[in-house]
Every structure is written in C-alpha cells, then in structure tokens.
Amino acid sequence: MNIRLAKTKDIDQLIKMRWDFTIEYDENKEKESYDDFKKECCSFLNDALNNRQWFIWVAEENERIISHIYIELIHKVPRPGRKTYPFAYMTNVYTVPEYRNKGVGGEVLSSVNHRVKENNYEFVIVWPSEESINYYKKNGYVYSTEPMEYFPY
C-alpha cells in the first residue's frame, strides 16, 4: 500500500469514490445524474489539486485508490505578536468497503496527522458521523460539541 497526495491522474477514481460514498449512505441519490455530478466534481477536483488550499491524501494498492481524506486549509487573520498558522478542515474521509477495519484508514489519518504537525497547523476540525467517532478518538482526536451555525435560507 502506498500513501501519497492525490494527482490529476486520480480524478476519475476520486469522482467514482465520492459517488459510491454518497450512494452508500443515501440510496435515493442514485436517481441523480452521474454525468452532471462528474462534471461538477471534476471541476472542483481540478481546482483543488492545482492550488495550495486543498490536499487530498490517498492510499492506493496496485494503482487503485482504496481510501482518501480531503483536507482544506483555512487561513486565519494575522494577529500582532504571534505567528499565525492555518487550521485544517477534514472532510470526505472514505475507505472502500472491502478494506475497512484493516487499518488502512488509520494509516492515511496518521499521514495526515504527521503533515499537520510538520506544518504547524493550529488544529484539525472534523464533523464525524456517529459511526466514526471511535475511529477519530483512537487516532488522537477529541470529541467536542457542534459549533454554532447560521442557515440563511
């Protein structure tokens, strides 16, 4: 297994994994147009992979991506007398079903955590599903209550 940052050659696999991830948890989404989704997701991924705001970590085996974690850097407003570091928003954490509970996701998360420490990110925020809370806890994450939200519509 190889853990690395995603490249543009991975876009088709990443799109299919995002589709599969969504369908796995909401079968009603299968009625949506894959072609429309692919077009939108391809545009997002091309932008994400060509800037320094998003980092997509993947685990691959025999050139097949089997797990991924998306990280978006959120830059903070500088403050006098203090070096400012970004924080990371973690999302779209997914391992294909046949590789779950084999340590693959934990290895990808360890790579992300190493990068976070190495780059002095202030913290990582993730909104876990109920099923994934223990996964994060055993990898050093601390459960916290939801932040406040504003919905304009």
CA–CA separation, 38 and 42 (whole Å): 6
Question: What are 135's two structure tokens?
Answer: 């996964």
pLDDT per residue rounded down to tens, the chain (153 residues): 999 999 999 999 999 999 999 988 777 766 778 899 999 999 999 999 999 899 999 999 999 999 999 999 999 999 999 999 999 999 999 999 999 999 999 999 999 999 999 999 999 999 988 888 999 999 999 988 777 777 888
- Which residue type, as a one-letter code, is found at position 15? I
Q: Model pTM greater than 0.85?
A: yes
CATH 3.40.630.30 applies to domain 2-137: yes
Where exactly are the structural domains of the chain?
Answer: 2-137
